[in-house]
Amino acid sequence: MTAQILDGKATAAAIKSDLTARVAALKERGVTPGLGTLLVGDDPGSRWYVNGKHRDCAQVGIASIQRELPGTASQEEIEAVVRELNENPECTGYIVQLPLPKGIDANRVLELMDPAKDADGLHPVSLGRLVLGIEGPLPCTPYGIVQLLRHHGVEIKGANVVVVGRGITIGRPMPLVLTRKSENATVTQCHTGTRDLSAHLRQADIVVAAAGVPHLIKPEDVKPGAAVLDVGVSRDEHGKIVGDVHPGVAEVAGWVAPNPGGVGPMTRAQLLVNVVEAAERAAADLSEG
Ligand SMILES: Nc1nc(=O)c2c([nH]1)NC[C@@H]1CN(c3ccc(C(=O)N[C@@H](CCC(=O)O)C(=O)O)cc3)C=[N+]21
C-alpha cells in the first residue's frame, strides 16, 4: 500500500476559489485588497517566488504593488519603502521577501512594518498574538499545513504530532498553531539537540519535517498510517528540490505531502488569505467609523 497524497495544488485551488468570492464581496463594499512585495537584490529564486505571488493575486482579484531595490540598498532605503507601504492605502497587506542582503538588520526592517498589514504572519506582534490567543494573521506555512490536513480529513484533534525543526518561519510557530483549542494536537518539537529522534518519530500520527536535512525521515522511523509532511527544501547538484523525507516513507505512511506540490502551494494560498482577512478587518473598521 502506498500513501495517499496530501494534494497542495488542489487544496490551494479550492482556497483560491473561496477567496475570489470574498474579494468580489469586498470590492462591492469599496475595498480592493492589495498585496505589496518588497524585493531587495536580484536573486533569481527570490524573484521567481515574488512573481508567483503576484500571479496568485491576479487569479483571485487582489491588486499587486511591487517594489524593488538593488542589492546595494542601504538599511535606510529599505526602511523608507517599508514606511511607504505602511502608509499606502492601496496596500492592505505586504511582505518583505527574505532573506535580505548581508549587512541589513532584517529584524529592524520587520519590526517597522505595520502589524495590521503583516501578510506573512511573522511580525513580532503577530507571533505575540498567536501566543496570547488573540486573532490575527497566522504564519503561512504552519497554517497552510493545518488546512492541507483538514481538507483531506486527517484528524488533528488529539493527534501526536512531531515537528522536526525550530526555524522562525515553520518549526517555531508550528506547535503554537497546533496547540490552539481549535486544533488541540499534542506536539513534540524535535531539533538538532534531540537525543533520539527516531524514538519520537515512531510515536507520531503526524510528522512535520522542517529541518532542511535531505532525507532525514527514513521509512523505518515512521508509524504505519501516519501523515508525513515534507517542508524541507535542499537542492541537489542539478538544482532539483530534495526534501527532508526519504521517498521510501510513502510505502509506510498513510498520507504524504509531496515536495514540490504539497506544502509550498499552501504557503502561497495562506498569504492570500492573510491579505484578504486584513482587508476584511480594515473594511469592518471603516464601517464602524
Ligand atoms: N517574507 C517571505 N515570506 C515567504 O513566505 C517566503 C520568503 N519571504 N522567502 C522565501 C520563502 C520560500 N517560500 C516559498 C513559497 C512557496 C513555494 C512553492 O510554492 N513551491 C512550489 C514549487 C517549488 C519549485 O518547483 O521550485 C511547490 O512546493 O510545489 C516555495 C517557496 C516562501 N518564502
| Full set of structural domains in the chain with CATH | 30-116 (3.40.50.10860), 140-264 (3.40.50.720)
120 lines ligand 1 (CB under 6 A): yes
User: Cβ(270)–Cβ(283) under 8 Å?
Assistant: no
Residues 269 and 265: their CA atoms lie apart, in Å, by: 6
Given the CA of residue 52, which atom of ligand 1 is nearest to it? 19
Going by pLDDT thresholds of 50, 70 and 90, the confidence category of residue 254 is: very high
Residue of the CA atom closest to atom 30 of ligand 1: 264
pLDDT for res 259: 93
Q: Please check the confidence at residue 289 and state whether its pLDDT lies above 90.
A: no
Q: Please check the confidence at residue 1 and state whether its pLDDT lies above 80.
A: no
Annotation says 120 is catalytic: yes
Complex ipTM = 0.96
Residues 275 and 179: their CA atoms lie apart, in Å, by: 24
Q: Cis omega (within 30 of 0) on the bond before 99?
A: yes
User: Cβ(42)–Cβ(58) under 8 Å?
Assistant: no
pLDDT 10s digits, 157-215: 999 999 999 999 999 999 999 999 999 999 999 999 999 999 999 999 999 999 999 99
| pTM of the entire predicted model | 0.96
pLDDT for res 282: 87
Q: Please check the confidence at residue 279 and state whether its pLDDT lies above 90.
A: yes
List 66's β-bridge partners, or say none: 37
33 lines ligand 1 (CB under 6 A): no
Let me know if 267 is exposed, middle or buried by CB neighbors in 10 A (0-12, 13-18, 19+): buried
Going by pLDDT thresholds of 50, 70 and 90, the confidence category of residue 47 is: very high
Annotation says 53 is catalytic: yes
What is the pLDDT averaged over residues 104-116? 97
CA of 49 to the centre of ligand 1 (A): 6
